[in-house]
Structure formats: structure tokens, C-alpha cells
Structure 1
Amino acid sequence: MEPLRPILFHPHIPSIEYIEQTLLPDVYEVRTASTVQDLADAIKRLGIRGAPALGCAGACGVALSALLSRDDSLPEFLSGVRSDVNLLRNTRPTAVNLFYGIDQVLSAIESSKSIEEAKSHAVNAAHEVIEADRRTCHAIGKTGLSIVPEGARILTHCNAGALACAEWGTALGVIRSAHESGRNISVYSCETRPLLQGARLTTWELLRDGIDVTLITDSMAAVLMRKGKIDLVVVGADRIVSDAVFNKIGTYMHAVCAKAHNIPFYIAAPLSTFDEESREDLVIVEERNPEEVRRVRNCITGPSTVPVWNPAFDATPSDLISGIITEYGIFSLPRDLETICQLKMGNKVVV
């Protein structure tokens, strides 16, 4: 089966094609962003979502801005691109990969000596962000094989699959790699309220690949753990700081339950998700529209006047995490913080 590639950049048009994830699993639809505003709108409504995918989208968005520019002078060209960069930066405040992708292409543009050179460099840099994410996700999957025993029953939360990346996935990349290696694994996918990414997206991906998956509500995970039906938990990440991991709301609850039942709890994420110089109390957690909780796909679930608290993410302290599976090995925080910093600076030695 053809691999899922949720974001495709077409510089010759120019445009960005993406799978509209708010419609899945009912409808598989590929949409086109022809302007940076189109892309920003898609990111805000979660048509494009998932930390690595946001990095790819951000990179493509900056390149799209450069290609669409009709400015004749380099200063005006750069001013227009930077304005679009600010638009993209303000779409989602928590996922650090978005800023990483944006900065990779912006840096390539700002180092150019002409508009023509800047456009060429932008296209090359955007394509490299996408290709690097594809390579990275496959490497994460290979790294993660060491923690997946034969017959493992794996719990995952939200969607850290191909739809959240350029291809393959992070947490689901580990699961896909284990399945591809012939290990007889099975998966429990938490539905992930309030937007049901686990129910709508993760189960859709795994069924598509022929991987054994069972859907559960978020509140059922602890019971399965107590009954001895979960062997390990693998989830993705939207930002990893020096003392915690930010991921979809509900992740912390699963980590606490896993610790109480002596079940390994792993994060799968690329090095680009690390914001190692920051810490939990400095991160802005996105709060989303209350209607996401008062309704489920247009069905009313609560009174229209009831107050709602709707954070998109929570933080899991590092002491609840068994390891962080990356393309360069499995790390622990804060023990391996110096090694992670060295890897990010370019001393990329496999450990």
C-alpha cells in the first residue's frame, strides 16, 4: 500500500496539498493551500496537525510566501516574507516543530543575496525539512524496536502517525516498524477527547495498514492496565523541555496510571521536538474553543452556557517517562540533556 503523505509541496504551481484531517474517517479529501492565509487557516482548524507535520507545513508556508512575492527589492521581499512568518507563528503556540520548520526556511532566505536566490533556497530548504522528517520517522521506528517485545499490547493516545508527520509516524512509526518486523503486536487506541484524534485518525491509519487495533475511551485505559492487558505505552510529543514532555491533553493521566501499574511509558519524537533550554513553567499551552467540548462533531454534549476549560496539551514530568525514543537513540531527562544538546548542535553521534 502507498505510504500516507499528508503534506505535498508543489513549488511549480506554487501550492501546498494536504489531507484535510478534520473530515476523517468519514471523508478522505485532499485540499490545496494556494496562499499563506489558506495554510494558516488549515493549521488553526487542525486540518493539518501533529508536531512534525506542523514543522513541514511551516517550512512549506515560508517557501510559498517567497514564491508568491511580487516585490522587486530584496528589503521589501524580506519584509513580506517576515510578515507571513509571523502569521504562521501565531497559529499554534505550543508545538515547537512549527517554529523549527519556519526557521529552517527563513534562515535560508535571509542568507540569500538576491530574490531569485532566496526563492531557490527556500524551495530546497522546505523539501529538505520534509525529506528529513521522513528519514527521521523511519529511524525512530527502527530505534523503538528494542522496547517492543513479541506479542506486545501497546496503548497509544491521540495520533502520532503518518498523518502527524511527513510519513510513517513517531509513536505509530514504532508500532509500524514492529508490525513490519513480524512481531505479533496489538494496539489499544484511546479516543482522545475532545476532538477524537485517536478514534478518527489513529484507528483509521492502523486499520489501513492491517495492524490489530481496538478503540477505547480515554477513561478505560487504567482498567486495562490493572487487568494486565497493557505491556507498554507509546505516545508522541509536541514539545519536549528539560523537565517535562508536552503532548495531547490526557497524556499525563496515562503516564500516572502506567507508573502505578509498573508499565513502561515511552515518548517517540524527533530531535526537532526538543526545546531543551526551556522548562515546563515557561511554555504557553494553547487553549481552544469551548465548543469543542460542548459538542462532538455537531452533536450537543453540554449546555451552551456551561463554562469550559479546554487546553490542547498537558505536561508529563520526566520522572514518569521510561525513555524518549529518537532517531539517535533512547534518552532520559534530565540525565541525557547534555547529549541531546550536543546532538542538536551537530555532533550527531548515534548512542
Structure 2
Amino acid sequence: MNETLPDTIRPIRFDGGALYLLDQRRLPGAMRENRYDDAGDVAAAIRDMVVRGAPAIGIAAAFAVVLACRSAASAAAADWRAQVERAIAQLEASRPTAVNLFWALDRMRAVLAACPSADEAEVRTLAEAQRMLAADIAANRRLGAAGAELIEPGRAVLTHCNTGSLATGGFGTALGVIRSAWAQGRIREVFADETRPWLQGARLTAWELLHDGIPVHLLCEGAAASLLRSGQVGWVIVGADRIAANGDTANKIGTYGLALLAREHGVRFMVAAPVSTIDFDTADGSGIPIEMRPESEVLELGGRAIAPPGARGWNPAFDVTPARLIDAIVTELGVVQQPDRARLAALREPIAAQ
């Protein structure tokens, strides 16, 4: 078996006092990094999906706090804490569903609380953001290996949206599982939903898989039922933007439908996500805020109208899959099979020990 794990895509880097984000809106046509020196501009980049994916959003926001500290230090602002807090508030408002965003900003607030000056805050927050980036990549590799062990050899897998290097610090969550399983010869082929309306599956997942030499079949979401009925697919593997304490999971819109189809056709359903995605303060899926995005994203494609004037668009970015439809939640700290409140709660002790 080929156990080489390609890992060459990095969507986030910090260099020379500036943050660089790979502009995911331009893929697969062009690979272009955008430079950011201002935390408010990073908040706009998160909102506008230059960077996307819950772990990547959190890491980008952490580096944005570094930029806010740098700006306050350069201005020798007496009210530097208030200035940085205003930047954090902007970042919190950029995407409401991804819990990793708030987790990362809370970590940065804890670092800031111990800093006597903006200069020291810049140094300490940069070290923390760099630790978060390195830890995310390492965690994704552990998560990928753990998820791969669940996959019985000989069948295909189906994934939805993009959960790879582009959505994380590197390697990916659900795509990390797929990368690991492919390297071990456990999966025969990969199917990816195109993922309307932003086409993350078509533009990003297909690009990532081909970049790593993994063949992929792209399908419209409407074809998933026929594919799952065919018997070719053994697992549906997806990521998560927020997991409630009982295991209910918010992910890209269309995930809930896939979970229902998988259950109907005897296909197993896996959620792959870092423990930072688990929100133990949210009891169940009914408490997860669902971001509504502009109607134009549904009514247009590539900036061109695809619906007649006067048509309205309904555009929730996420839906919630009940825990009862999930066979396994895979994290870097272990696998929770048949997830429920008690089984997920068992992860809290190792989280606290980190």
C-alpha cells in the first residue's frame, strides 16, 4: 500500500508582519494569495469567503488579532485594549455558525489579558496563533488516521463541500480521512458533490484531490440518492462547523439530506472535525445559529443571473444533522461512535488536560 500522505496546500501563512490568505474564490482557475495588514480587512475576507471552513476561519481570525495588536502598538495607542477588542468584535460578526471562530478569539482574549502593553500583546498573540496553526495540522493528521481505520476496504466514499487543506491549517478533516484511507488502499474511488451555490465541491474539493493524485467523480447533489442506492459507496464523510453537546451537527447546507439518504440506503455516515468544533455550551442543534447568506448567491452563478427578474432566493449556508443519523464523530482525541451527550462528554476530560 502507498502510505505517502501528500500535504502541500497551505491556505494561511503569516510572514513579515502580514497575513496571507489563498483566495479560494479564484480556485481552481488561479492560485493567488491576498495580503492583509488590517484586522477589519480579514473580517471582510472571512465574510466574503476568501477563507472558509471552520478551522481555517478560526486560525485566520487569530492572526487578525495579531494585526490588531500590531496596529495598536504602532500607533502607541493609550486605549490599545479597547482598540483590539473592537477588532475582535468585528471578527466575531463575520460568520456566526462556525464555533471555531469564537473558540480562537476566546483563546486570544486569554492571551491579551496577561499582556501589559500592545507591544507584548503582538509578540504573545503571534506565538499563540502560530501554535494554533501547527496544532491544527498535527491534529488533522491524527484525525485522518483514526477515521481511516473505520473504512472497510473495497468501496467508494462520498463527501460534501470542502473539508481539506483549504478549510483548515492543512491536510483537512473529512478530506484528511479520505487522504489517509486512500494512501492505505482502503477506498476505491471518491465522489464529491458539487455543493451549490458556491460550488466548493467542484472548485475546491475536486482541485485538492486531483492535486494530490486522488481521482474524483463530481456529481450534482440531486444525483446523490441514485449513487447511494447503487451500492458503490460505503461511507459518506463530511466535516462540521459546529457540533452541539448531544452530537447534532451543523455543516454545509445539503449535509442533512445526505444523512437521510445514507440511512435509507444502509450507507454509514461520518463527521470528521477537531474537538474545537464541539460546542458543549449548546445543548442541541436547535441552539445553533444558522447563517443566512445573500439571495444573489442562489440567483446568480459566477456573477451572471441564472433566474428571471423577480425570483427570490432562500440561502441558508448550513443545516443541522441530528445525532441519530451519525454513525461516528471522528476527532483528533478519539472516535465517538453512535454519538450522544454522554459519549461526547467523555471527550471533555482530555480536552481539559491539553
TM interval, shorter chain, is over 0.9
Alignment partner for residue 7 of structure 1, among 8, 12, 23? 12
| 8 Å Cα contact 1:89-1:99 kept in structure 2 | yes
Q: Which one is further off, 37-46 or 330-339?
A: 330-339
1:135 and 1:226 mapped to 2: Cα distance? 36
What do residues 168-219 of structure 1 show as CA deviations (whole Å, max 9, x unaligned)?
0000000111122243531100001111101110000001111121000001
Mapping for residues 165-204 of structure 1, pairs under 5 Å: 165-204=168-207
Which stretches in structure 2 are left out of the alignment for 5+ residues? 1-5
What is the match of residue 276 of structure 1?
A: 280
1:47 match: secondary structure: coil
> Contact 2:194–2:221 (CA<8 Å) still a contact in 1?
yes
Q: Give the one of 83, 86, 93 matched to 1:83.
A: 86
The code of the aligned residue for 2:183 comes to E
Q: Which residues in structure 2 correspond to 1:162-311 (within 5 Å)?
A: 162-243=165-246, 244-278=248-282, 279-311=284-316
Secondary structure of 1:25's counterpart equals: coil
**Cα offset, 1:49, TM superposition:** 0.2
Q: Does 1:312 align with 2:289?
A: no
Q: Is the 8 A contact 2:245 2:345 kept in 1?
A: no
- Quick one: which amino acid aligns to residue 171 of structure 2? W
Deviation at 1:149, TM superposition (A): 2.1
The 3 A distance-change label for structure 1 pair 129 and 228 is: same
Residue pair 2:156, 2:187 contacting (<8 A) in 1 also: no
Secondary structure at the aligned position of 1:306 is classed as coil
Q: Tell me, in whole angstroms, the C-alpha distance in 2 between the residues paired with 1:68 and 1:114.
A: 12
**Distance in 2 of aligned mates of 1:87 and 1:261:** 44
Distance 2:19 2:288 in 1: 29
Shift of residue 117, structure 1, vs aligned partner = 2.2
The alignment partner of 2:279 has SS state of coil
Letter in 2 for 1:72: A
Show the counterpart of 1:36.
39
Query: Residue 336 of structure 1: SS of its match in structure 2?
Result: helix
Distance 2:166 2:301 in 1: 21
* CA distance in structure 1 between the partners assigned to 2:187 and 2:119 by the alignment: 53
Distance 2:266 2:119 in 1: 57
Shift of 1:21: 0.3
SS at match of 1:285: coil
Question: Residue type matched to 1:267 in 2?
Answer: V
Distance 2:22 2:147 in 1: 27
Give SS of 2:342's match. Answer: coil
Which aligned pairs between 1:58-97 and structure 2 lie closer than 5 A? Answer: 58-69=61-72, 70-72=74-76, 76-97=79-100
Q: TM-score, normalised by structure 1?
A: 0.95
State whether structure 2 residue 49 is matched by structure 1 residue 46.
Answer: yes
Report the equivalent of 2:332. Answer: 327
TM-score norm. by structure 2 comes to 0.94
Write the distance in 1 (CA, Å) between the matches of 2:228 and 2:334.
27
Alignment correspondent of 1:345:
352
Give the gaps of 5 or more residues in structure 1: none
Please give the alpha-carbon distance, in whole angstroms, between the structure 2 residues aligned to 1:72 and 1:203: 47
* Aligned equivalents of 1:34, 1:96: Cα separation in 2: 24
Change (3 A) 1:2 1:267: closer
- Structure 2 letter corresponding to 1:126: A
Percentage of identical aligned residues? 38
Aligned-pair Cα RMSD in Å: 1.4
Question: 1:336 is matched with which residue?
Answer: 343
Deviation at 1:90, TM superposition (A): 0.3
